[in-house]
Structure 1
């Protein structure tokens, strides 16, 4: 690749102040009070980027009911957020290289705040769809900006720790949303959620304008073919997201339009990747994905993200099935928040080049153990019964993101600056689409098993059976004070018994979800330990061969010296052989 074209003359930085990459701010000295301000802005921006969608997800049934949306329409809102969030990273990296991160953030946060206020005025499904799309765009910018601000909060020697903290802040949004949602909804309808979302966006917008990041290096980054690649890849990813969010709602085989969307996604993504593969200066280094180390990294990132869906889909879904409300789940998410903070703190305090992989192993162990502890739940379990398992799961989730990001950045820097956008996109895709695909896969499996259990349970509900007849009689007696008609009482009692049977079928299906997540977690943990041991064996064998080679070379040198010493010097006559 040709040398970069600088758009501005770089300042005369000291060597330790220079930014690592174009588009990144310089690491200049700040007084302690200013470093504290950078840390506070990082927390504010990180929460502003993630809290809006977390509030929406936590209160989706309430918003869906108050807005008069069908389940399919509600999932389109989730798809709009995820589609814009995951594809924004295709442009953010090059945009900040050429124009700076602050401009992109001001555009993203400004549009987000404007649409939040607009939705408060209109309150229509169309404005809500636009708001969710803007929220995804702003969240992508805020995640990067949060990390960049947190890096300014400490000297350069602490970059790994600050990176872990910056990434970890965005993970706090989900438990915080569940904790504060009941209080917001107690004093009004959905408007309070968007008052908070709009307020956070406006405050974050003001903060990044007042406290600016240090200047960086700006280079000519965009090329004409970048926009053609984006025009192919972004709609392709958006169609793939649409298929994943709608698959379990409309069911995979019952909606032909999902098949056409999947075909469109495959065609567009294939064309975009083909173009990138044959470009001189591609955005995505497709050959990076063919390296064995890269393949292992991507698989590991997907598996770790998949394991976290045991909490977001499995536990939350099961508790909702059992009728638990956000108020009842509030203490559980307090425990999850504590576990996430503990995981982030443990990772930040211990991270270095030697412990990164150990932290990922520890995260795998914690996530797998949490799923194993949740296996065997019953309909009598309540949020308090999940405290231990979900604390472990939250700690594992808090641990793995920092070292995963750092490991990816190190792999990208080894290949060169041109590979950084590839690594960033790979991490973003594995975490966003990995979580979405994990929820879709577990949701499909849970629905399939629930149907099987429902059939098996219903088959044994025979009104002639004395136990079934006694249970129906109990149901009818409980309704006697409310319903006078005996026939209607009998029908309602049978319906309640069928509802109880379906609840038990759902609980059994969720137990299978926990079981399969635990199996995948411990299976991948065993494979990762085997790969680590194998790499250690290979390194020891290579060291042994090198040692023997050096010994052999030394022996050869000694033998050569002895031969030279025994050979007559040039110009001298060899001594006569002794007579017999």
Structure 2
């Protein structure tokens, strides 16, 4: 098939995906292995940053608040670039897109080894997010490449998503060993090694050429710039907002307002274009609004796993190495969820997958809401495995439903759906984490105030606890006043830990309530559809009887 640019006929019906003869089994497995390597390279690269913010801050000599900017600048191109990448791939060719994308990723991975200051780290993370956006696309393409049309949705989609979504959790499994052996340098060298291996696989296993079409228009760049500004402002606001307690920094409010204005400008531009980069009218149809809301809500709920247990255990003084088993179980559960999708996924079954996922999330969140200061990762293995499994039960069926809706209207609608899916997942993760953290900060302050009011020297239980702790310190601290001060400090620290646990329990229970409400709404929706179908069949039967008589 020619890889030369083609101009599509303006009135021609949209062509379906080209059909290719199946690849030999060994070569097909090689393509699927390349997809796994590409997905892990992207997922681990992102996870190495998000799971090691304190270590990165120490290595660069900055505060953890400053280090959080690295995660923000990574996510901005990760969320915004897919808008243009699909058009770039269509206009300049799939092979060139794959080769240039992976070369850029290797270059960024190589540069990260030599990071020595905060400014260079910010620049490298921005470029890394841009390169990762193309890498996740390549992971999908390589997984789907060797599969026949009927297996692309059933096998390729769940497998690709399972590996991509497992990357950040897998990073928490391997990070402690890598940091223990060689500090952050080993993390960077591992990411570089995987990037170079991915580069080799991309050149050894080229993707089949696709027809090129001139699809990029000058106004696309204006829309993309506004989308990048809008997404970037939201991401920065929801990453830095909980850190600065939102109202303490006026620039956060102005930034969020500017983001809304930029996205409003995108809507105004796209509604008045003959060939919009995003079909706003289709995206605001009832079916797509329902799908978008579902995707976004689930991503908010699933933020409990990334922002809940790891941060609670960090507040309790649990070392990352003690959480390796927990995240290993989460990775295994996520992969098992992907395999379950392969076995049972089918158009029309999405609601049942989502209902089971919501029930599992409800159960897992309720179990987590019973945590105490003595809770350790081993006691959350089952609950977190249920939530990890539920995440993979939800995402592939939801994406399949959206792809079917998009392709039913024509391939040109595929871009709009992909933008919706990636945006809801990238933005939903950041917004969910920000809201989750803000809620915990608010509840922690309320619980700490309530506990502090009880810890008065006039309270007999408090006085007894201080005396008991002071007696335990008698052999270490001879001075009685110093012993009492140390005992009071120890009691205050315990109250702080207790307030954090209570706050996380409140957050887990809130997730339980949201999941329960969503499951109830889904059941009502299913019942309404069933009732409408029964009434419609009854009317049809009556009409047939009347016509026969």
1:104 aligns with 2:102: no
Distance, in Å, in 2 between the alignment partners of 1:177 and 1:477 is 44
Distance, in Å, in 2 between the alignment partners of 1:41 and 1:322 is 40
Query: How far 1:8 sits from its partner (Å)?
Result: 4.7
Q: Which of residues 59, 77, 80 in structure 1 aligns to 2:73?
A: 80
The answer to whether the 8 A contact 1:19-1:217 is kept is: no
Query: How far 1:466 sits from its partner (Å)?
Result: 2.6
Return 5+ residue gaps in structure 2 as ranges: 9-13
The answer to whether the 8 A contact 2:452-2:495 is kept is: yes
Over 3 Å counting, the alpha-carbon distance change for 1:112 and 1:475 in structure 2 is: farther
Question: 59-68 or 421-430: which moved more?
Answer: 59-68
| 1:96-495 correspondence runs (5 A) | 96-160=89-153, 161-495=155-489
Over 3 Å counting, the alpha-carbon distance change for 1:386 and 1:281 in structure 2 is: same
The answer to whether the 8 A contact 1:239-1:262 is kept is: yes
* Structure 2 residue aligned with 1:31: 24
* Structure 1 residue aligned with 2:11: none
- Matched residue count: 541
Over 3 Å counting, the alpha-carbon distance change for 1:233 and 1:154 in structure 2 is: closer
Query: How far 1:187 sits from its partner (Å)?
Result: 1.0
Query: How far 1:499 sits from its partner (Å)?
Result: 1.0
Query: How far 1:233 sits from its partner (Å)?
Result: 1.5
Distance, in Å, in 1 between the alignment partners of 2:373 and 2:542 is 65
The answer to whether the 8 A contact 2:16-2:411 is kept is: no
The answer to whether the 8 A contact 2:108-2:128 is kept is: no
Over 3 Å counting, the alpha-carbon distance change for 1:525 and 1:435 in structure 2 is: same
For the residue of structure 1 that corresponds to 2:455, the secondary structure is coil
Over 3 Å counting, the alpha-carbon distance change for 1:373 and 1:267 in structure 2 is: same
Question: 469-478 or 434-443: which moved more?
Answer: 469-478
The superposition leaves residues 60-87 of structure 1 with CA deviations (integer Å, 9 ceiling, x where unpaired) of 2222222222232112111111101000
Query: How far 1:515 sits from its partner (Å)?
Result: 0.4
Over 3 Å counting, the alpha-carbon distance change for 1:61 and 1:481 in structure 2 is: farther
For the residue of structure 1 that corresponds to 2:146, the secondary structure is coil
The answer to whether the 8 A contact 1:108-1:137 is kept is: no
* Structure 1 residue aligned with 2:497: 503
* Structure 1 residue aligned with 2:48: 55
For the residue of structure 2 that corresponds to 1:121, the secondary structure is coil
Distance, in Å, in 2 between the alignment partners of 1:367 and 1:148 is 30
Over 3 Å counting, the alpha-carbon distance change for 1:442 and 1:9 in structure 2 is: closer
Distance, in Å, in 1 between the alignment partners of 2:475 and 2:128 is 50
Query: How far 1:53 sits from its partner (Å)?
Result: 1.0
The answer to whether the 8 A contact 1:168-1:401 is kept is: no
The answer to whether the 8 A contact 2:237-2:256 is kept is: yes
Distance, in Å, in 1 between the alignment partners of 2:374 and 2:510 is 22
TM-score, with structure 2 as normaliser: 0.95
Return 5+ residue gaps in structure 1 as ranges: 11-17, 556-580
TM-score, with structure 1 as normaliser: 0.90
Distance, in Å, in 1 between the alignment partners of 2:27 and 2:240 is 46
Q: Highest relative contact order (Cα 8 Å, sep 6+), 1 or 2?
A: 2
* Structure 2 residue aligned with 1:69: 62
Query: How far 1:9 sits from its partner (Å)?
Result: 9.8
Distance, in Å, in 2 between the alignment partners of 1:26 and 1:106 is 23
The answer to whether the 8 A contact 1:26-1:214 is kept is: no
Query: How far 1:416 sits from its partner (Å)?
Result: 2.2
Query: How far 1:26 sits from its partner (Å)?
Result: 5.2
The answer to whether the 8 A contact 2:283-2:416 is kept is: no
Distance, in Å, in 1 between the alignment partners of 2:496 and 2:262 is 41
Over 3 Å counting, the alpha-carbon distance change for 1:19 and 1:370 in structure 2 is: farther
The superposition leaves residues 119-173 of structure 1 with CA deviations (integer Å, 9 ceiling, x where unpaired) of 3224222222122222222222122211111112332221122111112110121
Over 3 Å counting, the alpha-carbon distance change for 1:9 and 1:214 in structure 2 is: farther
* Structure 2 residue aligned with 1:559: none
Distance, in Å, in 2 between the alignment partners of 1:155 and 1:411 is 20
